[in-house]
Structure 1
Amino acid sequence: MYDIIFIGGGLNYAGAIVAAKNGKKVALIEKDMKQLGGVCLHKGCIPSKMFLHYANVVYESKSDILEGEAVLCMQKLFHKKTNLIENAWHAITKQCSHVDLIEGEAKLKEPHKVEINGEILEAEHIVMGTGSHSFVPEGIEYNTKDIIVSDEVLMMQELPKKIAIYGVGAIGLEMASFFATAGVEVTLINHSGKILKQSNPLIQKEIKNQLEKIGVKILENHGIKTAKSTKKGVHITFEDKSSIYIPVLLVAAGRRPNVDFLTCKDIKVEKGIVTDRFFETTLAKHYAIGDCNGKLQLAHAARAEVLNVTERILGKNPRPLNLDHVVKFIHILPMSYAVVGKTDGEKSGVVPLSQFPYSAYNHASAGLMISYTDNNGFIVGAEILAPNAEELAAIVGMSLAGEMDAAQAKRTIFGHPTFSEALERTFYKL
């Protein structure tokens, strides 16, 4: 009998460590213990951002004031990535020394009982953090070779000469940036006519311009009906009956929650496992955090959620999380996009980065920052298109947590020359 069983070894491990350190008897179940740390560490944000970092070095080397040009060696990058992940995995495993790590596929069929490797384990509390998987639309014949998902990209030791990418979410846009700046001919296929259609129209326009500037060819309003591997390459047929051949197709059509392990009728599942604002499911003392609850597919959100749940189990009565305050970002090149909070405020302050000389040698002249306030002058959100936008958005995230108004925000003096001073300028326009 355990106090808590954590199902899934992604960011769930953070909660397991805290619970064990606080004297709870804890088990963490992961179907492949070599994947402890989850998708983010092994097949997601850690390796992908590493790939983008080195692709950006290649892009910077093309400056007209530099002589010569860098070339990305995928074999060296692959080995560097592998070493980084292994070191992180060992560190996480060591931190879990007081947690019972159990390898195998868990099944939750009835309350408080987990079936694993032919045994039944019981716990007062169950925390599910089973993550998500790549979604491949019907008609696309995924084969891991020339019709791939992001998992295969991060295992590449040689770049293709050409690639098509289907999807304009975070994965599609980041991979388009990576391949294009690394010297690959990229065709980005968009089912609709807009990129980041929830963002400010000014940002939509500039992101499209940026992608085209680094060499990405964008096909708008091109839904894929079928994609099959042939001797001539991947044959893609579109909904308008046109077709193309391409050596490699990367499917980046989003991710879906992993919920197949769950057959307990007391726990409701819709797009993900249904939870309340404390991440408790429709069955008391059973929780779902991270991608599997269908709220936010972000590693930092999953970590915050599991720590919030663990503190609640420990009786510390934490405040409920406001997921609107979680920074969301897409690490495209050379400028990233980040958003935090609400973007439908009563008033907005818009500042183009072209006003700052600092932007001229940082490939950011087309960037911009937008801050939003409500009708009482309180900051409610921001959108940023700039190098390392995700770092800058954290400033606004703290403003939201501190319930600051524009008048308070103006009291902070930001450094010069930095991009943060452009954010400061948006506060003066509110």
Structure 2
Amino acid sequence: MYDIIYIGGGLNYAGAIVASKQGLKVALVETSLGHLGGTCLHEGCIPSKMFLHHANTVRQSNESVFRGELVLDMPTLTAQKTELLASASKSIMAQCKDVELIEGKGKLIAPHKVEVEGKIYEGEYIVIGTGSIPFIPEGIVYDKKAIITSNELLDLQKLPQTIAIYGDGAIGLEMASFFVSAGVEVTLISRHDRLLPHTHSSIQNAMTKELERQGIIYLKEHAISKAEPTEKGVHITFENGASSMYEQMLVATGRQPNTDVVATDQITVKRGIETDDFFQTTLEKHFAIGDCNGKLQLAHAARVQALNVTKQIMGKQPGKLNLDHVVRFIHTLPMSYATVGQNRQRLEEDGMEFKESSIMLSQFKPAAFHQAGNGVLIVYADTSGLILGAELFAPNAEELISSVAMALAGEMTVSMARQTIMAHPTFSEALERVYSRL
């Protein structure tokens, strides 16, 4: 009998380490121990940002102040990526020295009982963190070579000359940035009529202008009915009857919660594993964190949920997490989109009175050499001046928004934020200007 059994070795490992250090008897079940750290470490956040970092250098080298041509060496890049991930995996394994690591596919077959490769393990508490898997729409023949997902993308040894990317969410937009920066002809295909439909209209327009400026072909309202690999490349047929051929295709139509771990009807599964606000499932002492609960598909959200649940189990009463305070971002080049807290759409849907302030980065000289002329910063506050949230489209927006996230956590007002003197010349200075206008 274990105190806690964690199923899934993604960000769940953070909770397992904390619990083991407190003397609890802890087991961590993972299908492949070489995959500790989960999708974020091996096929997501870390390697994708590494790829974008190096592609950005190629993109910048095309500016008029440079001479010559840079080419991304994919075999070297993927080799360095593999070396980096091996080092990270080794570090996680070392931190799990007091955790019993169990390799194999875990299934919750009954309350407190986890089956792994035919063996039954029992735990007083169960924490499920099995993540998510790529969603492949019907009609797409996913062969992992010509038609790939983000899983295979990060092992490419050769860049295609042309690629179709189906899906305009975070993965689709980020990888469109990677490929076009690396010199690939990119076609971004979307079922929707506009980019980022839940964001402020000025950010939708700015992102669309950026795609056009970089030469990305954007096909909106082009649902795919069929896509299959052929000897000449990938043949795509659209629902409107048109068709096109591309050398390769990336399917980036989202990810779906991995819920097949649940083999008992005492836990409700809908879109994801259903939980309450404290991540407890419909079965007492059984929790689900991260992508598999369908709340928020972000690694940092999964980590904080795992730690919150572990503290609950240890009786430390961490309180309810406010998932609205989790930063969400899309790392595109040369500017990224980031948001935290409320945005205009949600505030209007809730019927809440609010004020907003925005500024275009084109008003700031550094925008010229950062290629940030289409950038925009927007901050929202209530009628009493309490900061409610922000949406940023700027270079390194995921870093810039951290000060807004701290303002939300500290329940700061606009008048308090105005007292902050930002550095010059930086884009945080533009954020200071936004506050002054609220």
TM-score (norm 2): 0.97
Which residues in structure 2 correspond to 1:102-117 (within 5 Å)? 102-117=102-117
Distance 1:85 1:131 in 2: 18
**Are positions 1:395 and 2:396 aligned together?**
no
The equivalent of 1:296 in structure 2 is 296
The equivalent of 2:350 in structure 1 is none
Distance 2:10 2:300 in 1: 11
**Are positions 1:61 and 2:69 aligned together?**
no
The equivalent of 1:45 in structure 2 is 45
Equivalent AA in structure 2 for residue 333 of structure 1: L
The equivalent of 1:386 in structure 2 is 394
Q: Which is further off, 67-76 or 320-329?
A: 67-76
Which residues in structure 2 correspond to 1:3-402 (within 5 Å)? 3-344=3-344, 345=347, 346-402=354-410
Deviations 1:30-60, CA, capped at 9 Å, x for gaps: 0011000100000001000000000000011
3-state SS of the aligned residue for 1:360? Answer: helix
Q: CA shift at 1:220, angstroms?
A: 0.9
Distance 1:386 1:354 in 2: 11
Among 405, 416, 426, the alignment partner of 1:408 is: 416
3-state SS of the aligned residue for 1:260? Answer: coil
The equivalent of 1:428 in structure 2 is 436
3-state SS of the aligned residue for 2:186? Answer: strand
Distance 2:273 2:435 in 1: 39
Q: CA shift at 1:197, angstroms?
A: 0.5
Distance 2:51 2:161 in 1: 17
Listed as ranges, the gaps of 5+ residues in structure 2 are: 348-353
3-state SS of the aligned residue for 1:47? Answer: helix
Q: Percent identity?
A: 57
Q: CA shift at 1:232, angstroms?
A: 2.5
Q: Which is further off, 5-14 or 408-417?
A: 408-417
Distance 1:62 1:155 in 2: 25
Distance 2:356 2:387 in 1: 10
Distance 2:33 2:112 in 1: 23
Q: CA shift at 1:231, angstroms?
A: 2.1
3-state SS of the aligned residue for 1:236? Answer: strand
Deviations 1:290-314, CA, capped at 9 Å, x for gaps: 0000001000000000000001111
3-state SS of the aligned residue for 2:334? Answer: coil
Distance 1:370 1:319 in 2: 30
Q: Which is further off, 155-164 or 338-347?
A: 338-347
CA RMSD of aligned residues (A): 0.8
Q: CA shift at 1:22, angstroms?
A: 0.5
Distance 1:65 1:373 in 2: 42
3-state SS of the aligned residue for 1:324? Answer: helix
Distance 1:424 1:321 in 2: 28
Q: CA shift at 1:85, angstroms?
A: 0.4
Distance 1:332 1:273 in 2: 31
Q: CA shift at 1:229, angstroms?
A: 1.3
- Runs ≥4 residues deviating over 4 A: none
3-state SS of the aligned residue for 1:69? Answer: coil
Distance 1:341 1:119 in 2: 44
Listed as ranges, the gaps of 5+ residues in structure 1 are: none
3-state SS of the aligned residue for 1:180? Answer: helix
Deviations 1:252-303, CA, capped at 9 Å, x for gaps: 0000011112121111111100111110111111000000000010000000
Distance 1:213 1:117 in 2: 53
Distance 1:118 1:79 in 2: 36
3-state SS of the aligned residue for 2:237? Answer: strand
Distance 2:423 2:153 in 1: 38
3-state SS of the aligned residue for 2:401? Answer: helix
Distance 2:418 2:68 in 1: 44
Distance 2:397 2:413 in 1: 21
The equivalent of 2:351 in structure 1 is none
Distance 1:258 1:366 in 2: 38
The equivalent of 1:419 in structure 2 is 427
3-state SS of the aligned residue for 1:329? Answer: strand
Equivalent AA in structure 1 for residue 282 of structure 2: T
Distance 1:280 1:422 in 2: 42
